[in-house]
Each structure stands twice: as C-alpha cells, then as structure tokens.
C-alpha cells in the first residue's frame, strides 16, 4: 500500500513569537508544548491514511474506545537537537521506529512502517524548529504514540488506530548538571515478568512502576530499581531507565536483554561507544547481593542509569528495607562523566559522529 504523505494544516492562532521565546527560556521537562502535532490513522479497510501536520488539540474519543478498556497503547521518546551551524538533527530515529514497530507487534496493534514513523518526526520538527530552546542541555522532545481508537467492548485487537506525535520544548533534565541520584530497591513489586511486555514501550509498564516509585519517594530516594520477577534477585532496570555498573578493573556490566528489560537506544549507544574505546562491557545478570558486596569492597566504583530524557544519570546511594550502601564517594564518577560528555557531544553535533547516528533534517 502506498505510504501517505503529510498534508500541512497550519494552526490558525499559533503562539506569538514573543510568547514562545518566553516559554522556552526555562521550559523544564514535558510541560511546554508546541503549536502542532502529526497524526496518521489506520483502519482495517484503508490501512495507513490521513497523514497530516495539524494544530495540537484535544483528542476526541468515544467512551467505548478500545484503548480506554483494553490498554492497547504504545509510545516512544526521542529528541531533536539544534546544531552549532544552525541546523537541526534527530538522534537515531530509525531505532525508535524499529522499537515502536516491535512494541506494536507485541500488543497486537497495527505496525507503523518505520519510514513513516521517521517522516512524521521530521515533518513535525521542521514545522516547530523555532520551539527548540537555545540553552545547554535543551532540545525538542518528541513523543510519538499510538492508541486503539475503535469503538467497541470486547477483548480483541482493535480495527482502528490513531498515531500521533507531539513535541515539547525541554531544558536540561537536571538543572545545574547531572547529579547523583539515590535508588530504592523494590522487594515487593516487580516491573515485568518473562513472557510479558517488559521489552515493549507501552504505558502499562510505566503504570505498573508508579506504586513502587511512590514508595521510593516516601523512603527519601529519587528512583526505584526493580529486581527480576522470578527469583527477586537479579537487578533489571529503573522505572524508566537502563542501568550500568563500572568496576575497578575498567570493565563495565549491564543486565542482558532477556525480554523483561526495555532495549534502550541510549543503552545501545553507550555499549557501542564503550566498546569503540576498547572497554570490556559484559551483558550479564548481576545480583543485588553482589551489587552490595562489590560496593562495600570497592570493586564497584561507579554506577549510572541511562535513557532519552536525562541521557546519563550517576547513581550515588542504594537503599532497601534491610540495607543501604554508597557507591564510591557517592559523586558522579569519571567514566560516567566521560560517557555523558561523549554522547551529548555527538547528539549536539559538537564532535565526530563515527556511526552516523545524527540524522540532519534542516
């Protein structure tokens, strides 16, 4: 079937330039939205159709829309960066497109062609490039998502879907620079189980993490870290980030992708950059008991989390109901800082891009 092209329907009353400039001075994260959004629809009889860039507006859904009852919903997150020469680029959007398609398959949803995913992001960024903030660490955050929009009650895959991309001007996730965060090890709750949706980027996975995250906050910690659902022993990931460990012999370790962990694009980028530098990185299981022992002995010198929003986040302290320990001196480590700088320099066009990860769009 022929792929639809994007019609442009400009917003009738876009935000004035002066007001836009004021909003993006200090936008925070995920609260300042642009004028437009991209939308494409799918149905059994028409396939993908009605692609357009249009005014950002509320979505009208019937109360019996399938997404509201059976949770067929997936999403992605990626950023557009302002380049030093005035251009704009996306970072590895084809990887987000591939993961989006895999998530759709797992939730029995229509699979958006990867080139249509990338084109939707390109077209929206080109329409909204004036919303990209100028500050260090700033970007235009894109949120592609898809929901089941058929009106029916009954447990089956929907026959209609709505795909959208919205955009948000964002600042540095950690104002003032990356800081070490504290983690709470959840013993009662798990994020995903074998055979489940742990490696799909669907809203249900994040909903399942929120009670544990609330527990972490109550215990005075910044984030929750989950153990496996079977043995409650192996470290898996945070509520929304992958995790890495750095040892005193220079090697690194990250939990393997066995179906219960989201295959992060930042995770894959860090693996590639570390191995390019000759660093041995193992994708192996790592137990919570070993983590505690290695931190106590000094064998573990750094740990960090990674994801699109914060890129790389140092981990300083880890707590649970029956233990607490510090990693190194509790401050961001040398390897963590180096990988953060190397990756962000590539994303922002300040250094060589040996793998062609930046996709320039204007």
User: Tell me, what's the pLDDT at 1?
Assistant: 55
What is the mean predicted confidence (pLDDT) over 131-139? 92
User: Tell me, what's the pLDDT at 179?
Assistant: 85
Distance of alpha carbon 67 from the chain centroid: 21
Tell me the pLDDT band of 177, cut-offs 50, 70 and 90.
low
Residue with the bigger pLDDT between 341 and 3: it is: 341
**pLDDT one-digit tens code per residue, 95-130:** 999 999 999 999 999 999 999 999 999 999 999 999
User: Tell me, what's the pLDDT at 3?
Assistant: 76
What is the mean predicted confidence (pLDDT) over 69-91? 97
Tell me the pLDDT band of 2, cut-offs 50, 70 and 90.
low
> What's the whole-model pTM score?
0.96
């Amino acid at each position: 079937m022929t792929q639809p092209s994007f019609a442009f329907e400009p917003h009738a009353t876009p935000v004035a330039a002066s007001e836009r400039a004021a909003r993006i001075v200090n936008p925070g994260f995920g609260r300042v939205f642009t004028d437009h959004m991209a939308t494409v629809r799918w149905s059994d009889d028409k396939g993908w159709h009605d692609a357009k860039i249009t005014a950002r507006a509320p979505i009208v859904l019937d109360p019996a829309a399938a997404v509201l009852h059976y949770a067929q919903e997936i999403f992605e997150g990626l950023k557009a960066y302002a380049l030093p020469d005035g251009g704009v680029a996306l970072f590895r959007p084809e990887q987000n497109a591939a993961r989006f398609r895999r998530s759709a398959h797992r939730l029995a949803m229509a699979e958006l062609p990867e080139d249509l995913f990338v084109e939707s992001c390109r077209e929206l960024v080109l329409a909204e490039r004036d919303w990209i903030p100028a500050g260090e660490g700033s970007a235009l955050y894109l949120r592609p998502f898809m929901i089941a929009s058929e009106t029916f009650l009954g447990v089956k895959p929907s026959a209609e879907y709505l795909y959208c991309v919205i955009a948000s001007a964002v600042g540095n996730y950690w104002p003032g620079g990356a800081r070490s965060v504290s983690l709470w090890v959840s013993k009662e709750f798990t994020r995903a189980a074998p055979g489940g949706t742990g490696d799909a980027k669907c809203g249900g996975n994040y909903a399942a993490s929120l009670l544990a995250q609330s527990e972490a906050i109550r215990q005075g910690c910044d984030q929750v870290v989950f153990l496996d659902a079977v043995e409650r022993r192996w470290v898996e990931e945070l509520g929304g980030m992958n995790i890495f460990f750095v040892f005193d012999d220079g090697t690194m370790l990250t939990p393997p992708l066995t179906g219960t962990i989201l295959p992060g694009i930042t995770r894959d980028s860090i693996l590639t950059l570390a191995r390019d530098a000759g660093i041995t990185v193992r994708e192996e299981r790592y137990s919570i008991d070993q983590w505690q022992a290695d931190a106590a002995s000094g064998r573990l010198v750094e740990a960090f989390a990674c994801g699109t929003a914060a890129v790389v986040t140092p981990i300083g302290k880890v707590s649970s109901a029956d233990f607490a320990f510090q990693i190194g001196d509790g401050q961001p480590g040398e390897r963590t800082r180096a990988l953060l700088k190397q990756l962000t320099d590539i994303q922002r066009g300040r250094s060589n891009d040996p793998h062609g990860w930046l996709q320039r769009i204007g």
